[in-house]
Amino acid sequence: MGTRLDIAKKRILVTGAEGFLARAVIPELRRHGAAEIATADRGTHDLREQEAVRRLLAETRPQVVIGLAGLVGGILVNSQRPAEFMYDNLMMGTILLHESWRAGVEKYAACMCGCAYPDGAPSPIREEMLWDGPPQRNSAPYGSAKRMLAVQAEAYRRQYGFDCIVLVPGNIYGPHENFNLNDAHVIPSLVRKFCEAADAGAPEVVVWGSGTPRRDFVYVGDAAEAIVAALERYSGPELINISSGTETAIGDLVALIARLCGYRGRIVWDREKPDGQAVKIFDVSRMERLLGHRCRTPIEDGLRRTIDWYRENRSRGGVRL
Ligand code: GDP
């Protein structure tokens, strides 16, 4: 397990700073006393380029690095832009970890994703199932690139003793996510569709797939707390799932968001759109045991916060659309 990392005393670099997970992790680090937090985003450094990453590390000289940059998106855009999802994520992940090791970083945290697990992995999905089969086809280029983080972290720990931990979040949702209907994940897409339809008094909303898939949604604030807890308390080669461990069927999610948005019209299922993996629920016992943490926000509370945030910020132009 190693000794506890004192976050307050470290210079910390967070990449992907404009992303919604980093926007929750950075305040969480501050709550733990972190004073020196450097950030990087797409505008300042192209993290697919080794030179840019070297420059970033030379400029910020971090002792701790949290790699949260990535090209992310929902099920449709993953199948439309597989090459970019593969290349960008593989390069960003590989270069940042390697250059952090080379720069003498003391601790590194990488985030994989739940879709790296095999398509057929039985739920609840345990961390040791990672290599039991190929990832779900639509998101396989992304999921496979993310798998390499686990390989690289293990190799660098074994050969160089590099303290690199790998966390595997479930379906994270919450404020600041991308609400663009073409590439967003299911929750921001539905929040936007039902809020807009409720406001306009529209008679119909189209949602995707069959409604039968089941997912393990985790509120972004809970995931951020788990990531910081892992940074403080865990050093080891084992992956750790970060999720709520509770399941929600997409059909129930649709009904819940429609109600919370005040929408009363018809709901139409577009079955031409992909369902993705049938069931994706995570075993979170390792997180609870090693980090002493639980992701507790009930889905209804998390959705209310997300909807409130969306409504408030939409009118001010503060939502990524
Ligand atoms: P996944 O966990 O990789 O499948 O990611 P998504 O968040 O994109 O999708 C989760 C599930 O929600 C899939 O079964 C989709 O078919 C379903 N879904 C229903 N309506 C929508 C929608 O408007 N947008 C998205 N992205 N998914 C939707």
Each residue's pLDDT tens digit, 10-54: 999 999 998 999 999 999 999 999 989 999 988 889 999 999 999
Predicted local distance difference test score (pLDDT) of residue 41: 80
Q: Binning pLDDT at 50, 70 and 90, where does residue 229 land? A: very high
* Confidence grade of residue 76 (pLDDT, cut at 50, 70, 90): confident
Does pLDDT of 220 surpass 80?
yes
Which atom, in ligand 1's list, is nearest to the CA of 190? 23
Residue 112 binned pLDDT confidence (cut-offs 50, 70, 90): very high
304 assigned to some structural domain: no
Mutation test of ligand 1: which of 208, 212, 244, 277 has the most ligand atoms closer than 8 Å to its C-beta?
208
CATH number of the domain within which 289 lies: 3.40.50.720
Q: Over pLDDT 70: what percentage of the chain?
A: 99
Q: What is the mean pLDDT of the chain?
A: 95
* pLDDT for residue 1 is more than 60: no
Q: How far is the CA of 52 from the centre of ligand 1 (A)?
A: 34
Nearest CA to ligand 1 atom 24: 186
Mutate to test the pocket of ligand 1, among 75, 216, 257 (most ligand atoms within 8 A of CB): 75
- Indicate whether 186 belongs to any domain: no
What element of type H or E holds 65?
strand 64-67
Atom of ligand 1 minimally distant from the CA of 250: 12
In a domain, 210, yes or no: no
Predicted pLDDT of residue 21: 96
Q: Which atom of ligand 1 is nearest to the CA of 74?
A: 8
Q: pLDDT-based confidence at 74, cuts 50/70/90? A: confident
Choose, from 117, 142, 173, 219, the residue flagged as catalytic.
142
Helix pair angle (186-200, 250-261), 10° resolution = 40
Indicate if the alpha-carbon torsion angle 41, 47, 50, 53 is positive or negative.
positive
pLDDT of 2:
55
Ligand 1 atom at minimum distance from 138 CA:
3
Average pLDDT, integer, range 199-219 = 96
Determine which residue's CA is closest to atom 18 belonging to ligand 1: 208
CA 186–ligand 1 middle distance (angstroms): 4
Residue 142 annotated in active site = yes
pLDDT interval class at 182 (50, 70, 90): confident
Domain count, the chain: 1
* Per-residue model confidence (pLDDT) at position 44: 83
High-pLDDT (> 90) share of the chain, %: 88
Residue 113 in domain: yes
The average pLDDT across 88-115 equals 97
In a domain? residue 153:
yes
- Distinct helix (H) and strand (E) counts, the chain: 10, 13
What is the best residue among 179, 186, 256, 267 to mutate for testing ligand 1's pocket, by most ligand atoms within 8 Å of CB? Answer: 186
- Residue 279 main-chain phi, psi, to 5 deg: -135, 135
Predicted confidence at residue 157, as pLDDT, reads: 98
pLDDT band at 183 (very low <50, low <70, confident <90, very high): confident
pLDDT at 105 over 80: yes
pLDDT digits (tens, 9 = 90+) for 265-317: 999 999 999 898 899 999 999 999 999 999 999 999 999 999 999 999 998 88
Residue 75 alpha carbon, nearest atom of ligand 1: 8
Q: Using CA positions, which residue lies closest to atom 22 of ligand 1?
A: 186
- Residues within 6 Å of ligand 1 by CB: 74-75, 115, 139, 171, 184-186, 189-190, 207-209, 213, 215, 250, 273-276
The position carrying tokens 């992940």 is 93
Enclosing domain of residue 73? 7-177+216-245+281-296
Q: Please give the pLDDT value at position 49.
A: 96
Q: Give residue 208 CA to ligand 1 midpoint distance, Å.
A: 7
Pairs from 90-94 (Cβ < 8 Å, separation ≥ 24): 90/145, 90/148, 91/47, 91/48, 92/15, 92/47, 92/48, 92/67, 93/67, 93/145, 93/146, 93/148, 93/149, 93/152, 94/148, 94/152
> 30 vs 34, 221, 294, CA distance in Å?
5, 13, 20
Radius of gyration of the chain (CA): 19
In a domain? residue 253: no
Q: Is residue 261 part of a domain?
A: no
Q: What is the mean pLDDT of residues 149-172?
A: 97
CA of residue 75 to ligand 1 center, whole Å:
6
248 CA → ligand 1 middle, Å? 12
DSSP 178-240: B--TTT--HHHHHHHHHHHHHHHT-SEEEEES-S--EE-EEEHHHHHHHHHHHHHH--SSS-E
Residue 57 domain-assigned?
Answer: yes
